[in-house]
Amino acid sequence: MSQEVQATAASTRPRRAKGEVQVWLTAVGLSTGLIMIIGLLGLILWNGITVFWPKPVVEFALREADGKTTAVAGEVVKTRLRPADDGSAGKEEIQIFTGNKDAYGLAFRFIDGEAVTGRTEPRDLILAERMEYGDSLFYPIGLDLADGSRVEVADEKFDETFSQLVREAGERRREILHIEKKQIGRLNERIRSEEMAIRRLERSGGGDPAPHQAAIEAAQKEYEALAAEARRLRAEQESNILRYRLASGEERTQKLGDFVHYYRPNDLSWFGRLGVFSYHFFEFITGEPREANTEGGIFPAIFGTFVMTILMAVMVSPLGVIAAIYLREYAAQGLMVRIVRICVNNLAGVPSIVFGVFGLGFFVYGVGSFIDGGTKTPMPAVAWWLSGLAFIVNAVAAIVLAMNYGGSNPNLPKPNAVIRFLKPFTAVCAVLFGIATLVFNPYFDGFYSESLPTPTFGTGGILWASLTLALMTLPVVIVATEEALAAVPRGVREAALACGASKWQMIQRVVLPSALPGVMTGVILAMARGAGEVAPLMITGVVKLAPSLPIDLSAPFIHAERKFMHLGFHIYDLGFQSPDSEGAKPMVFATTLFLILLVVVMNLTAIRIRTQLKKKYQASAF
């Protein structure tokens, strides 16, 4: 066989199967993204969950420079090599969580790895959560009870008595909270509203304030009684005392009312650990924050985020859908609509802080203070009446023109040039005069003028924050809805018209149901974006610590003007504003985990609704 023949055979048969490099390249893109997302979520999940898991506490025996031996106990946080000054690897050092901030000044410390002469995990060591100064690690010595008797740790009654007293202290604490927050809060509300009534009477110049004053006095009497009860309970909180010894040997005492919860971290079975884990977990999601948010739970933040996101979705959906219907179904598709569409799309790219500033200026200072105290620049009465008249005339003219010329009904006569001009002109005039009549009304003094200068709506609140976010996410909903509307097949539209439906009936009964899953997609995206947003909220109503929830059991139940807490802001506050950043780190991870969980849960719910809608309204394949 000659070489030539061989060469021909080789050229007709490819040496190996050829793949396309691009496939590999695109796969790399996807996997990089996936790895980063999984890595991020995994990190947050692991660090967020392990916060609640009880870790063993180690007691270290340390040899000091002068030859003495001291002891320190704590949870090992991490071990690292401290680089020495000359750049060599340096010495090992161990970071431990010692707790007892009141005794040591700091809750964390580094110990020199070389100085450690012994490690033990003593079973009788107690880790106690306290109302102040964080956790404490100690060996109990004995209890000094209110009746003067003493229970030492060697006594077999000790454990029982201690746990019962801590439980009783917890119950009393809840009782105090109930009295001070709920009952006294309600009284304050009553006194305030009576005071407002007196102020209103003073302002209007007539009426007898005596019954109101009597009501205030009665309320104050009730207040005295409640306050006395609270004082009594507080005194009881301080009556029992625990004596304990720190690992360093120092002996201290503490009132039992300070203890929230305790356990022996080195004396737990696996199920015991699970119990402590679920206690921590439950306390975290249902509890209120303590000690500048670094301890306790995050329930107000979870609730605030949830309420704000729902409010936002409720406001953005109808607005976005209506706008998209007009843009896609009614507006004549021309240059103007194209410009509007481009503007809407660009709105989605505006930084969120800009929306925040707008929300502060427009909603809080503009609309809010208008609701509170009416306008600052009222029109002269004559001008106001004229403006109102102009509004009515223009509105009537706009409606009459719209109903008699052109538009979607082909039977109407085609408008001539004058009417083509008058139609939008009267509509715009009606809107302008309407706004002017509303905003410069000299007869309107606001709904909360009696409590001024304390603002009610004229300051940040959950309503304004939700509205700001609704504005921010509006483009997302509009774009998604428009696409969903455009995807409704022409055949179905024509069939509806052929059945004698008007255009609005067609949109309402056939087009919108078909487009609903697409609308839901938009709302899901909007919620995902809105729930995690922090910057605009910081200036429109989020606070570090809100005294009460935006929805509660006191009338009118939904308090749209209240400030609220938000998980995203909570993360920022814990991680970057807290005095003890090392101590706040686990809380940051746990809070992040719950923010992500909340967004995921809300999105899954929305996706579930969308799936059901799709099943119900799925457009036919053909």
Partner 1 sequence: MTPASPAADELNPAFIEVEHFSFWYGEKQVLFDIDMDIPEREISAFIGPSGCGKTTLLRNLNRMNDLVDGIRHEGDILIDSQSLYDRRVEVISLRKRVGMVFQKYNPFPKSIYENVAFSLRVAGRNKKSELDEVVERGLRGAALWDEVKDKLHESAYGLSGGQQQRLCIARAIANRPQILLMDEPCAALDPVATLKIEDLMLELKKEFTIVIVTHNLQQATRVADRTAFFYLGKLIEYDFSTKLFSNPSKRETEDYISGKFG
Q: Please provide the DSSP assignment of 353-381 as one string.
A: HHHHHHIIIIIIIIIIHHHHH--SSPPPH
Query: Is the CB of 142 or the CB of 518 nearer to partner 1?
Result: 518
Count of residues that bind partner 1 according to CB under 8 A: 27
Is the link from the previous residue into 318 a cis peptide, with omega within 30 of 0? no
Q: How far is the CB of 327 from partner 1 (least distance, A)?
A: 17
Query: Is the CB of 223 or the CB of 617 nearer to partner 1?
Result: 617
Q: CB under 8 A: which stretch of 196-204, 233-241, 405-413, 550-558 binds partner 1?
A: 405-413
Query: Is the CB of 476 or the CB of 496 nearer to partner 1?
Result: 496
Q: How far is the CB of 481 from partner 1 (least distance, A)?
A: 16
Q: Give the span between the Cα atoms of 21 and 118, in whole angstroms.
A: 59
Question: Which residue bears the tokens 């040039």?
Answer: 417
Q: How far is the CB of 381 from partner 1 (least distance, A)?
A: 46
* Residue 409 interacting with partner 1 (CB under 8 A): yes
Q: Which string of x and - marks every residue 524-563 that binds partner 1 (by CB under 8 A)?
A: ----------------------------------------
Do 359 and 535 contact (CB within 8 A), yes or no?
no
Q: Give the span between the Cα atoms of 200 and 208, in whole angstroms.
A: 11
Q: How far is the CB of 421 from partner 1 (least distance, A)?
A: 21
Query: Is the CB of 545 or the CB of 619 nearer to partner 1?
Result: 619
The number of residues making up the chain comes to 622
Q: How far is the CB of 504 from partner 1 (least distance, A)?
A: 10
Query: Is the CB of 18 or the CB of 615 nearer to partner 1?
Result: 615
Q: How far is the CB of 490 from partner 1 (least distance, A)?
A: 9
Query: Is the CB of 234 or the CB of 614 nearer to partner 1?
Result: 614
Q: How far is the CB of 334 from partner 1 (least distance, A)?
A: 11
Q: Give the span between the Cα atoms of 170 and 69, in whole angstroms.
A: 39
Do 57 and 121 contact (CB within 8 A), yes or no?
yes
β-strand partners of 295: 290
List of residues 6+ apart from 129 with CB closer than 8 A: 135, 259, 260, 261, 262, 295
DSSP state for residue 179 in the 8-state scheme: I
Q: Which string of x and - marks every residue 440-479 that binds partner 1 (by CB under 8 A)?
A: ----------------------------------------
Kindly give the residue spans of alpha helices, DSSP state H, lying in 442-511: 462-486, 490-498, 503-506
β-strand partners of 94: 79, 111
Q: Please provide the DSSP assignment of 205-232 as one string.
A: T-S--HHHHHHHHHHHHHHHHHHHHHHH
Query: Is the CB of 131 or the CB of 619 nearer to partner 1?
Result: 619
Query: Is the CB of 159 or the CB of 494 nearer to partner 1?
Result: 494
Q: Which string of x and - marks every residue 603-622 that binds partner 1 (by CB under 8 A)?
A: ------------xxxxxx-x
User: 3-class SS at 429?
Assistant: helix
Query: Is the CB of 154 or the CB of 332 nearer to partner 1?
Result: 332
Q: Give the span between the Cα atoms of 106 and 580, in whole angstroms.
A: 9
Q: Which string of x and - marks every residue 486-525 that binds partner 1 (by CB under 8 A)?
A: ---x-xx-xxxxxxxxx--x---xx--xx-----------
List of residues 6+ apart from 430 with CB closer than 8 A: 391, 394, 395, 397, 398
Q: How far is the CB of 412 from partner 1 (least distance, A)?
A: 10
Residues near partner 1, by CB under 8 A:
409-411, 489, 491-492, 494-502, 505, 509-510, 513-514, 615-620, 622
